[in-house]
Amino acid sequence: MSNQFVQALNLAAGLILLTAVLTLWIRRVSTLVRLIALQGVALAVLVGTVAWHGHDRQLGLLAFGILALKAFVLPYLLRRVSTQPGEAETDPLVNVPASLLAAAALAAISYAVTRPLVALVPSAQVRATPVGLTIALIGLFVLLTRRRAVSQVIGFILIDNGIAVVAFLTTSGVPLVVELGSALDVLLAILVLQILTNRIQAVFGDTDLDGLRELRD
C-alpha cells in the first residue's frame, strides 16, 4: 500500500468528516447545499482513490457516477426543496456548541464500535471506517435536532454518504446492483421529500416540522 494512496485516502476521509461537522455549524441553507456538494466530491475522490489503487475499472466508473449524483443532481434537487431565498436554520432543538460537542461524542462512539473491525483487518482503508460511521451518526443527529424540512433531507443524505463510505472502505466495492439500488432509493426519497416539503410550505406557510404536530387529532 503506497504512501500516496494512504495520504489521498486520509485526505478524502478527512474532508468528508469536516464537511459533515460543518453541517452542524452553518445556518444558511444555500451554504449547506454547497457543503453537501463538496462532500459529494470528496466521496467521489475517496472511491476513485480506492479504485485507482485496486485497479478496478468498475469501481472507477462508479466513482464518476457518484460524482454526478452527489455533487450535481442531489444539490440541484436540494435547491428546489428550499423554496425561500435566504432561508436559514434559525432555532435548532440543540444549539450549535452543544451540537459540536455531540459530534465529538458520536465520533468517539464510532471509534469504539469499529475497534473490533479494525483489529480484524488493520489496513489503511479499514482504519478510515470510523469516519463513515461518524458521518452516519451525525446525519441521524441532524435529523433529530433540526427543524427545517431541508435539514431533514440533508441529514438523510449524510446518513447515506456515511453508509457508502463504510461500504467502500470495508469491501472495496459493493456490487453494482446494490449500489444502483441504494442510489435509486435515495433519489426517490429526495423526490418525495421535495414534494412533501412544498405541500407543507403551501399548507403551513413555512417548513418548520414541529408545525406537523397540529395534524395529530
Q: Could you list the residues that contact another protein (CB under 8 A)?
A: 93, 109, 112-113, 115, 137, 140-141, 143-145, 147, 152, 177, 209-210, 212-216
Q: Based on CB atoms, which residue is closest to another protein, 18 or 209?
A: 209
Query: What is the rounded CA–CA span in Å between residue 167 and residue 144?
Result: 24
Instruction: Provide, rounded to whole angstroms, the least separation between the CB of residue 185 and another protein.
Output: 17
Query: What is the rounded CA–CA span in Å between residue 141 and residue 105?
Result: 11
Instruction: Provide, rounded to whole angstroms, the least separation between the CB of residue 214 and another protein.
Output: 8
Beta bridge partners of 208: 148
Query: What is the rounded CA–CA span in Å between residue 168 and residue 129?
Result: 9
Please give the single-letter amino acid code of residue 208: D
Contact 132, 112 (CB under 8 A): no
Contact 125, 50 (CB under 8 A): yes
Q: Based on CB atoms, which residue is closest to another protein, 12 or 131?
A: 131
Q: Based on CB atoms, which residue is closest to another protein, 49 or 82?
A: 82
* Residue 216: strand, helix, or coil: coil
Q: In 27-175, which residue ranges form alpha helices assigned H by DSSP?
A: 29-54, 57-66, 74-81, 96-113, 115-120, 124-127, 129-145, 149-171
Q: Based on CB atoms, which residue is closest to another protein, 55 or 216?
A: 216
Q: Based on CB atoms, which residue is closest to another protein, 44 or 133?
A: 133
Instruction: Provide, rounded to whole angstroms, the least separation between the CB of residue 72 and another protein.
Output: 28
Instruction: Provide, rounded to whole angstroms, the least separation between the CB of residue 156 and another protein.
Output: 10
Instruction: Provide, rounded to whole angstroms, the least separation between the CB of residue 78 and another protein.
Output: 18
